[in-house]
Structure 1
Amino acid sequence: MPASATKSLRVAVLADSDTRWKWGALTAQRLAPAGAGIRLDGYLLRGRATPTARQLQEVGVHADSLREVTGVEFLRAMTEESYDILVLALVGGGVQAMLHGLRHAWGTEKRPVVVTGYVGVVYEKLADGLLLRHGADLVLANSAHDADRFRAVYEGVGAEASAVTEVALPFLGGAPYEGEHDPSAEQGRRPYTVVFAAQPSVPDNRKDRAYLLDRLIGHARRHPEREVLLKLRSKPGEHTTHIEELPYQKLVQGQDPPANFRLVYGHMGEVLDRTDLLVTVSSTAALEALHRRVPTAVLTDLGVRELLGNHHFTGSGCLASWDQLDAGHRPVADEEWVARQGVAADGSYVTAFDAARARITELLDRPGPLPPLTPYYTPETAPGYLPGILARHHLGPDGAPLPGAPAADKAPGAVRQIVRRAARGAYRHGVQRVAPVIRRMGEL
């Protein structure tokens, strides 16, 4: 039996938002070889989207330790601590910066297996995002469809493609949908429930977001016997993976929605437990719902466009408009499309991470240290692009920390914590209040 399957593994996850922390931590848990326990240490990259305590609690993933760090602080920690697996759950530029920083920090010393990937549907910046992730030992693809696309991109630029490994989204699960609830049943009585899964940046303008809200409230008025829920990702002032300039909580003010309409937060899986119809523009929640065979509608009201991400669902059988849903239409997903997208509604989810576990076991059991990380982008292949990415994380072209890079020697004191919170709040105010006003003025 491989040694990696018998010992407890030390795993680190570096994440830059609540959704990426959820993906990274759950991925780490699923990647541990059979029979191996894990100690999970979480590192939250300090920035505009650093999750709040409420967001972390909502994610519901336990870590043995969890702390906020700068990029340089994290790199230092990786030379002081010994890990078996490191999951980089970051935006593409962050992954690339950490790969170069880690290559410099580790040199030829023993290092962990480095894993990265995507939180959900990859519908934009395919080549850009993938090449920024190149250099990790495993680049996880959430479906067979994605795995084929990822390999084609790497091979097309002459980059090594063997790191691409097919898995599935790590947060799929929950009881399969058993059909519409019978309201006449004596126990567990509840109304037919429609859930709209909101997205922070899709659509990205007031007109379209107000339209979707009006249609959702209109659906509640047309169907007073139904419960209509607006599922929100974050509360005002919080950020998630994407910036939300126009939160629905703000747009709903001044409206007079019916009693069967309400806003909800919380774990998406718990909301899906009582959902009879999931509606969205292009949220990853659609894949969670399809995994459980919950009827799912991907809206076409604003067009089927790459900008919205709903083009990813062409061929799924899920595309529908609010007019159709108001009239009682319930989309039926195409089984072949669902299987190709890694939704694993056929029960194959239990084996979805087997290939990744086998690859990690092989690397962990390899004699001697792993070879240095070798990203595709180098000062030679991308001299006009890479230095800027590294500089944003206070790293030089060789991955070494720049002089004056922020790297505290001890835990931040109360004054520094207050200053950080104030600065973060000022940034969010600028994004959510000032920037939209400036843009509207520019359109006059």
Structure 2
Amino acid sequence: MRPAPQEGTRPRVVAIADTDSYVKWAAALVGGVGERWDASLLVLETPLVVSDAQLAAALSGSGLPRDRVARVSYGGLAARLADLRPDAVVIGARGPLVRVLARDLAALERRPVVVTGLPGISIPATRKAVVYRLQSDLFVVHSRREVREFGALSARTGYAHRYALATLPFARGARVAGGVSAEARDDRPARSDLVFATQAKVPAEREDRLRVARLLVRAAQADPSRRVVVKLRAASGEHQTHAEEDGYPELLASLGPLPPNLVTSTGSMRAALAGAEGLVTVSSTAAIEAIAAGIPVIALDIFGVSPQLINETLADADLLAGEEDVVARRFRHPDPEWLDDNYFHAPEADDWVEAVEELLAQRSARGLPARAAFPRRGGALRDAWERRIALGRSDTSAAGTAAYIVGLPLRTGVRLIHRVRRAVMGPAQQPGPAGSSTQVRSTSAVRTSTTRTS
């Protein structure tokens, strides 16, 4: 990272991120502000930190130059922040790590404005996402619907947050008319790939993931002249934001000899979409990136629609389709009425930059009020435990080691109790993300859902 410029009029904003999706999000978010801020990114070394290849893919098209990015250990983070003297810090990380970093920043004598957010589709709004980020001054979301749903969640729970709207970085610059951007129409004949966007946790069950793998083989066999590209989130040995079991390379290999036009890719999604005729996913945010580029989408309906599948908003866009549609490549553009409320609002509706600058002015004039963390028992030992869980081996403190030794057996016992309780109650009685019962919408009810959310 090149040295930060001398004190000037531009706010100094530092993003901190570690995993693939959050590094991509944070780099594009602050990189999109241009010269308005002096922006940089610190890639925090954690057990799930991006590789150099993943970092390069994340920075591609982000607007953030490579010399404004540096890696840093947790042990060296405080000193690096002291050198950079940020006016604001954007934390792009999983909830447990946001909680740790926000707590560290809150302890500073003249703390920066703390901004956080989620890197993709965030419907349904969840209590956990809010609770982990309570010590942040601003929570960035990416659609009008997300502003409403997170605001309603805060009102129900009493966990106060200030939410601000930002165009999802991967949808920035799209000129969408009826679901097809003007740029994409020009080169449509050159695009022939069916791109499948993998996800680590959706679907969760091995048999469901095998079903998808078999579907991809069928799609490749149906037209040997066109490729089926399985877009992986990580190469062998690399990490993802969420741990993946039953990865698609292994699942596909278990099916025997594969068609030569079925290939995998670990490059950027942007590069994969450059040759895409259409995109297939269950619920990946890659669907939004594809729509922004004018590329039609299929959101697989074969597992239903539920909060756990994170596909409710794609269902409302009328993007659901089944296996035969995938094989025949009958891709869909979103319902035009869905766009404005879901990730494709007008750029002038964005208010996150103005919200940050309002907080910066408040900080300069009279300082920022303290924001309380979620109340919990345990004091310093609990803090050390949470830091160790969030950072893993990257936390080398004696307190973290002691807390881990004490806390691990306790956590194992609590999880066992929860498993027994779930087995007794059954899945139908389990609370959903917002405290309601889990429900799976049948695909037959999806077609009329747009009118309920627009």
Q: Say whether 1:356 aligns with 2:349.
A: no
CA contact (8 A) 2:191 2:274 kept: no
Q: Which runs of structure 2 are paired with 1:150-169 in the superposition (5 Å)?
A: 150-161=150-161, 163-169=162-168
Distance 1:58 1:306 in 2: 29
Distance 2:230 2:208 in 1: 16
Q: Say whether 1:69 aligns with 2:63.
A: no
Partner residue, 2:24: 22
Decide whether aligned partners of structure 1 residues 174 and 195 sit closer, same or farther in structure 2, where only a CA change above 3 A counts.
farther
Residue aligned with 1:139, SS:
strand
Decide whether aligned partners of structure 1 residues 126 and 393 sit closer, same or farther in structure 2, where only a CA change above 3 A counts.
same
Distance 1:402 1:210 in 2: 39
Distance 1:223 1:250 in 2: 23
- Listed as ranges, the gaps of 5+ residues in structure 1 are 1-5, 183-189, 396-400, 408-444
- How far is 1:265 from its partner? 2.2
Q: Say whether 1:56 aligns with 2:63.
A: no
Q: Say whether 1:382 aligns with 2:376.
A: yes
- How far is 1:212 from its partner? 0.6
Q: Say whether 1:178 aligns with 2:174.
A: no
Decide whether aligned partners of structure 1 residues 297 and 388 sit closer, same or farther in structure 2, where only a CA change above 3 A counts.
farther
> Aligned partner of 1:359: which letter?
A
By percentage of residues, which structure has more helix?
A: 2
- How far is 1:150 from its partner? 1.3
Distance 1:167 1:211 in 2: 36
Partner residue, 2:135: 135
Distance 1:277 1:119 in 2: 22
Partner residue, 1:295: 296
Structure with more relative contact order (C-alpha pairs < 8 Å, separation 6 or more): 1
> Aligned partner of 2:372: which letter?
P
> Aligned partner of 2:9: which letter?
K
Residue aligned with 2:365, SS:
coil
Q: Say whether 1:96 aligns with 2:99.
A: yes
Partner residue, 1:258: 259
CA contact (8 A) 1:131 1:154 kept: no
Distance 2:356 2:204 in 1: 39
Distance 1:235 1:394 in 2: 26
Residue aligned with 2:72, SS:
strand
> Aligned partner of 2:25: which letter?
W
> Aligned partner of 1:83: which letter?
P
Distance 2:329 2:27 in 1: 39
Partner residue, 1:230: 230
CA contact (8 A) 1:99 1:373 kept: no
CA contact (8 A) 1:11 1:84 kept: yes
Residue aligned with 1:11, SS:
strand
Partner residue, 1:335: 336
Partner residue, 1:285: 286
- How far is 1:369 from its partner? 5.0
Partner residue, 2:413: none
Residue aligned with 2:240, SS:
coil
Partner residue, 2:203: 203
- How far is 1:147 from its partner? 0.6
Distance 1:80 1:306 in 2: 43
- How far is 1:269 from its partner? 1.5
CA contact (8 A) 1:172 1:288 kept: yes
Distance 1:164 1:390 in 2: 29
- How far is 1:402 from its partner? 11
Decide whether aligned partners of structure 1 residues 51 and 133 sit closer, same or farther in structure 2, where only a CA change above 3 A counts.
same
Distance 1:288 1:376 in 2: 34
CA contact (8 A) 2:125 2:150 kept: no
- How far is 1:389 from its partner? 5.9
CA contact (8 A) 2:219 2:328 kept: no
Q: Say whether 1:310 aligns with 2:298.
A: no
CA contact (8 A) 1:99 1:136 kept: yes
Decide whether aligned partners of structure 1 residues 37 and 311 sit closer, same or farther in structure 2, where only a CA change above 3 A counts.
closer
Decide whether aligned partners of structure 1 residues 303 and 322 sit closer, same or farther in structure 2, where only a CA change above 3 A counts.
same
Partner residue, 2:365: 368
- 1:344-385 Cα deviation digits (max 9, x unpaired): 4xxx24x354x11222222323443522440351xxx43379
- How far is 1:191 from its partner? 6.0
Distance 1:31 1:155 in 2: 31
TM-score calculated relative to the size of structure 1: 0.76
CA contact (8 A) 2:170 2:288 kept: no
Find runs of 4+ consecutive structure 1 residues off by over 6 angstroms.
Answer: 384-387
Residue aligned with 2:46, SS:
coil
Distance 2:251 2:366 in 1: 55
Partner residue, 2:217: 217
Q: Say whether 1:404 aligns with 2:395.
A: no
Partner residue, 2:449: none
- 1:133-180 Cα deviation digits (max 9, x unpaired): 12322110111111111111222233433x211112112247732178
TM-score calculated relative to the size of structure 2: 0.75
Q: Which runs of structure 2 are paired with 1:186-201 in the superposition (5 Å)?
A: 190=190, 192-201=192-201
Decide whether aligned partners of structure 1 residues 257 and 118 sit closer, same or farther in structure 2, where only a CA change above 3 A counts.
same
> Aligned partner of 1:322: which letter?
E
Decide whether aligned partners of structure 1 residues 332 and 387 sit closer, same or farther in structure 2, where only a CA change above 3 A counts.
farther
CA contact (8 A) 1:85 1:112 kept: yes
> Aligned partner of 2:90: which letter?
V
**Amino-acid identity (%):** 26
CA contact (8 A) 1:289 1:295 kept: yes
- 1:246-302 Cα deviation digits (max 9, x unpaired): 221222225322222211221211221221111001100001111223111100122
Greater CA drift, 382-391 or 197-206: 382-391
- How far is 1:221 from its partner? 0.7
Residue aligned with 2:153, SS:
helix
CA contact (8 A) 1:180 1:192 kept: no
